[in-house]
Amino acid sequence: MATHQGEPHRALPALTSAGILTIDLSAIQANWRSIKARLAAHVSAGAVIKADAYGLGAAHVGPALYRAGCREFFVASLVEAREARSYLPNDARIIVLGGAQSGEEGEFIERDLTPVLFSLPALDRWRQACRAAGGPHPSALKIDTGMHRLGLTPAEVDQLLLEPAYLQECGIGLVMSHLACADEPEHPLNQEQLHRFEATADRLRVHLPDVRLSLANSSGVFLGPQWHFDLVRTGAFLYGFHPQPLLADTLPTDLVQPVLQLDLPVRQVREVSHGGTVGYGADARIEPKTRLAVVAGGYADGLNRLLGRQAVGIVGEYSTRVIGRISMDLTIFDISELPAHEAPAWIQVLNRELTVNHLTQSSGALGYEVLTSLGRRYQRRYLGGESG
Ligand SMILES: *Cc1c(COP(=O)(O)O)cnc(C)c1O
C-alpha cells in the first residue's frame, strides 16, 4: 500500500544470529598507511572496496580510508559505485573494475565514475558516450598479460594502436593489468606478466604520455618495487589478512594489523551426563559428563569457512573446540575444560590473537572467502576510524 511517510514496510535483515562482529576502522587505516609507507612517494595506494569492502561494510570502511588519505577506490559494478559516490567526498576517484555495461555510460559520466574498459566494443561505446558528452572523460584500460580473465589481448592492443586518437578520445588515464600468481612470489608467471605489461605500456605511452600504470594487488606490492608502477590496488592487506599465508611469518608482525573480532552468544550450556553423540549425523562422540555450550551462529553466518578444521573458540583464558557438525544457525563447543561453575555468556572465534591469518593457515580456506562469507546477520560495531 502506498504511503507518503517513507517506507515503513521495508524489510530489514533480521539480526537473528545476534553475534557481534567488531570492525576496527583504525586498524584498517593503519594497514593503509603501512602499505603507503612501502611505496615510493609518487606511487598511490588505492583501496579495493568491492563486495561491500570484502563484507566489512564499504560505507564505513571507504570514508575511514578517505580520512586516512586514500583518494582512489575500486569497486566492482555501477551499483557499488553509486553507493560509493554517496558516502565518499567528490574528489574521491571511483574506478569500476567490471566496466560500464551497455547503456550505463551516460550515468558513469554524470556521476564522474571511471570505467575499466577491457574490450573493443566497450571502448567503442565509451568513445561514443564521450563524444555525446562533448569530450573525453576519464577511463582506465585493462590489458590481459596472462591471467586470461578480463583485458584486451595483444592483438586487440595492436588493433587499437592503428588509430591512436581513440585513446585520447576515450580519456584513458590509467593502464592496468592483474597478476594471477602474486601470492606465489617464485611463480614464473609474475615476471612474465611484468614484462608483458611493461612492453604494452611502453607502446601505449607513446600516444598517452601522461598515462598512469597499475599492476599490483596486495600480494603484488610484496613482489618488489618494479611491480608498483604509479598505483597499487590493495584489498586483502587493508582488511587485516595476509594474502600470502605462507610468507606471513617472514614479514614484520606489525605490518598488517588484525581488524576483526567476532563474539557469539551462548544460547545454552548443558552437561550430557550419559555421553552419546552430538549434532547432525551423530558423528561426534562424547564422554559422560561432557559440558557443551551451544552458540548462536552457524554456516549461514560463514562459520564453516571461518573455523575450518581448526574450530577454536576462546572463553577468557580457555581455548575450546567445536564439536559435531556446524549447523545453519548454531554451533556447539565442548567446554569441559572450563571450571565447572563457569557458564560462559559469549565465545570468541576471532580476535587480535586468533586472526583470519591463523584460521586460514590451519584450514586452507582463503582469507577472501572467509571475509566475504561472514554473513549479514551479525550486529556490527565499528571502532575508531577518525582523521589523523
Ligand atoms: C580484487 C582485486 C584487487 C585486490 O586484490 P587483493 O589481493 O585483495 O589486494 C586488485 N585488483 C583487481 C583487478 C581486483 O579484482
- Please write the tens of the pLDDT for every residue from 199-210: 999 999 999 999
pLDDT at 1: 38
Is 280 a residue of the active site?
Answer: yes
Taking phi over 0 as left and psi of -120 to 50 as alpha, with beta for the rest, 240 belongs to: left
Which carries the bigger pLDDT value, residue 356 or residue 104?
104
CA–centroid distance for 293 within its chain: 32
pLDDT at 250: 65
Atom 13 (ligand 1) nearest CA = 178
**Of 66, 166, 280, 368, catalytic:** 280
Q: Is 190 in the pocket of ligand 1 (CB under 6 A)?
A: no
pLDDT at 246: 60
Among 75, 44, 77, which residue's Cα sits nearest to residue 62? 75
Average pLDDT over residues 132-138: 97
Q: How far is 247 from 380, CA to CA, in rounded Å?
A: 31
Q: How far is 68 from 35, CA to CA, in rounded Å?
A: 12
Q: Is 357 in the pocket of ligand 1 (CB under 6 A)?
A: no
Q: How confident is the model at residue 342 (pLDDT cuts 50, 70, 90)?
A: confident
Q: How far is 258 from 240, CA to CA, in rounded Å?
A: 5
Long-range contact set of residues 160-165: C-beta below 8 Å, sequence gap at least 24: 160/120, 160/123, 161/203, 161/204, 161/207, 164/206, 164/207
Distance between Cα 169 and ligand 1 center (Å): 28
**Per-residue pLDDT tens for 161-188?**
999 999 999 999 999 999 999 989 999 9
Q: Is 372 in the pocket of ligand 1 (CB under 6 A)?
A: no
Is 166 a residue of the active site?
Answer: no
Distance between Cα 48 and ligand 1 center (Å): 6
Q: How far is 190 from 42, CA to CA, in rounded Å?
A: 23
Q: How confident is the model at residue 253 (pLDDT cuts 50, 70, 90)?
A: low
Nine-digit cell at 163?
Answer: 588509430
Atom 6 (ligand 1) nearest CA = 235
pLDDT at 358: 82
Q: Is 236 in the pocket of ligand 1 (CB under 6 A)?
A: yes
| Residue located via cell numbers 583504525 | 26
Among 87, 130, 89, which residue's Cα sits nearest to residue 110? 130
Q: Which fold has domain 25-240?
A: TIM Barrel (3.20.20)
Name which of 14-28, 78-92, 150-164, 244-258 the model is least confident about. Answer: 244-258
Q: Would you say residue 12 has pLDDT above 50?
A: no
- Locate all alpha helices (DSSP H) within the chain, ordered by sequence: 25-37, 50-55, 58-68, 78-87, 105-110, 120-132, 154-161, 165-169, 188-205, 218-221, 303-307, 356-363, 367-372
317, 351, 366 from 380: Cα distances, Å:
24, 14, 22
Distance between Cα 97 and ligand 1 center (Å): 9
Q: How confident is the model at residue 2 (pLDDT cuts 50, 70, 90)?
A: very low
pLDDT at 359: 80
Q: How far is 328 from 325, CA to CA, in rounded Å?
A: 10
Domain boundaries, the chain: 25-240, 257-383
Atom 3 (ligand 1) nearest CA = 217
Average pLDDT over residues 258-285: 93
CATH of 257-383, one of 2.40.37.10, 2.60.120.10, 3.30.530.20, 3.40.250.10: 2.40.37.10
Q: Would you say residue 14 has pLDDT above 60?
A: no
Q: Is 231 in the pocket of ligand 1 (CB under 6 A)?
A: no
pLDDT, the chain, mean:
91
Q: Would you say residue 213 has pLDDT above 50?
A: yes
Strand extents, DSSP E, the chain: 20-24, 44-48, 72-75, 93-96, 113-117, 139-142, 172-176, 212-214, 231-234, 260-272, 276-278, 284-286, 290-296, 312-315, 318-322, 330-334, 346-350, 379-383
Q: How confident is the model at residue 311 (pLDDT cuts 50, 70, 90)?
A: confident
| pLDDT cut 90: percent of the chain above it | 80
Q: Would you say residue 307 has pLDDT above 80?
A: yes
Q: Is 48 in the pocket of ligand 1 (CB under 6 A)?
A: yes
Q: Would you say residue 16 has pLDDT above 60?
A: no
pLDDT at 3: 38
Q: How far is 29 from 229, CA to CA, in rounded Å?
A: 22
Q: How confident is the model at residue 4 (pLDDT cuts 50, 70, 90)?
A: very low
Q: Is 35 in the pocket of ligand 1 (CB under 6 A)?
A: no
pLDDT at 247: 62
Of the residues 28, 217, 369, which should be mutated to test ligand 1's pocket, given the most ligand atoms within 8 Å of the CB? 217
Q: How far is 241 from 244, CA to CA, in rounded Å?
A: 9
pLDDT at 245: 62
Average pLDDT over residues 342-363: 88
